[in-house]
Structure 1
């Protein structure tokens, strides 16, 4: 399998997953030219993408969906609530509805030889999910935009090879920062975003000998610091041999192949 984060942050989110024979995107929240360029850097054409699996309808996850689907006729997979939210966006009024593929949480579906499992996360949108993608015994998950986690979350993230996990903010930076109080409450709520500390606590539950690499993603530009995020998570996990890296905010991160 191959995995690469094309962009991860409040300005836009896209991930690439491949079995070698089949290729998909998780979200498409940056401009189409950025996605085309990043895929070329991976020796992939947008024409090779067989599906876009959307986590939720916020614009930083769906920005390029309309243009990608119109240009390349790529099916879009999402829960019914998310599909409804997508169609309400002004940019999606010309969206080719025949490309919509409703999915159900906790029911895996196939795109080529990739098995895609959507599972529920706690976020302030209609019907948000995260995704675990498998090919045979190999698997990767992308888990961002969740305000909290529980045993259900943990159960869906066992025995991964690669993980992109949200480490959105430092709580003190949010509390002391310039954001309006209502926005601070949203970020820190159970339907907001995962803090560095909570990211580390969750990751500690997921470590196993075959976990090859973890990317910390969706870092806030205003309420986090990359070095602080890494230090906080590593301190909590206490696994010096585990490779933990940062998913870049607006650029292609290192591609992992296994």
Structure 2
């Protein structure tokens, strides 16, 4: 498998993942035009996509969903609660393109086996995904207030993780957000702080050289350098050497990450 985080952050989220026979998007949170451009930057045409999988209905994850699905007749996979709560701006997705599943389902798209699992977030029925081909796994875990034992079990040992590190708690507390918004972000149905992200990763990682892409960083309440440093310190305090046992990478709001293999090729 190969992948690229096309966009990550409050302004829009989308991840491209390909296998030998399948090409999928996890979320479509930019405009249709922007998604086309980001895909073009990594050498992919939207007409070759096999599916779009939706994590939840918030606009930064579905903004371009309807446009892209209708324009290129792409199948859309989501659970029924997410479908029912899609914003009206998404428009109508033809029924024949909709594939509804339960939140703890195993979905097959060509040679990809995709496990969905519930996460804790203030959406109708949000999920994360673990995608498998042969002995390779990539997991997508963003938009959640805490990491449950079930999630740890689902993604433990994945070769690559797209993993939330949303905010620095102190930056959030002293920042300009209204208190009700701060309280939501800090809650169990909000977002993972840098500290929470690192501490959960200690339980997830095996130290076999996994690659972790820190994702969904807040533009106002985080810095990429701070997220990296905080997570790195927590992992190394737990005995995991960053750069050897585990590799940390940035994601971006304004550009895709390079197209890379899920499992490092020698």
TM-score, normalised with respect to structure 2: 0.93
Partner residue of 1:38?
38
- Once the two structures are overlaid, the 10-residue window that deviates more, 202-211 or 41-50, is 202-211
Match of 1:228 in 2: 226
1:18 is the counterpart of 2:18: yes
CA contact 2:62–2:90 (8 Å) conserved in 1: no
Of the three residues 242, 246, 251, the one matched with 1:247 is 251
What corresponds to 2:186 in structure 1?
A: 188
**CA shift at 1:228, angstroms?**
0.6
RMSD of aligned Cα (Å): 1.1
Partners in 2 of 1:148 and 1:8 — Cα distance? 19
CA drift of 1:190 comes to 0.2
For structure 1, the residue ranges without an aligned partner over 5 or more in a row are none
Q: Please name the residue that 1:5 is paired with.
A: 5
Q: How far apart in 1 are the matches of 2:174 and 2:216? A: 20
How many angstroms does 1:31 deviate by? 1.3
Pairing of 1:1-258 with structure 2 (within 5 A): 1-86=1-86, 89-238=87-236, 239-240=241-242, 241=244, 242-257=246-261, 258=263
Q: Shift in Å at residue 94 of structure 1?
A: 3.3
Query: For residues 93 and 255 of structure 1, do their structure 2 counterparts lie closer, same or farther at Cα, with a shift above 3 Å needed?
Result: closer
CA deviation after TM superposition for structure 1 residue 211, in Å:
4.1
1:169: how far off?
Answer: 0.2
Separation of aligned partners in 2, 1:213 and 1:56: 24
Cα distance between partner residues in 2 of 1:103 and 1:149: 22
Moved more, 238-247 or 220-229: 238-247
Distance 1:18 1:95 in 2: 23
Give deviations 1:18-67, integer Å, cap 9, x for gaps. Answer: 11321000000001122112222222211110110000000000000110
User: d(CA) in 1 for partners of 2:166 and 2:116?
Assistant: 21
Count of residue pairs brought into register by the alignment: 256
- Cα displacement string for residues 103-137 of structure 1 (whole angstroms, at most 9, x for unaligned residues): 11222110000011110000001100001111111
Contact 1:159 1:211 in 2 (8 A): no
- After TM superposition, the structure 1 stretch with the greater mean CA deviation from structure 2, 36-45 or 243-252, is 36-45
| Higher mean C-alpha displacement, 213-222 vs 201-210 | 201-210
Contact 1:4 1:256 in 2 (8 A): yes
CA contact (8 A) 1:162 1:211 kept: no
Secondary structure of 1:156's partner?
helix
**Which range is displaced more, 71-80 or 241-250?**
241-250
Q: What's the secondary structure of 1:169's corresponding residue?
A: coil
Distance, in Å, in 2 between the alignment partners of 1:94 and 1:160 is 35
Q: Does the CA contact (< 8 Å) of 2:63 and 2:90 recur in 1? A: no
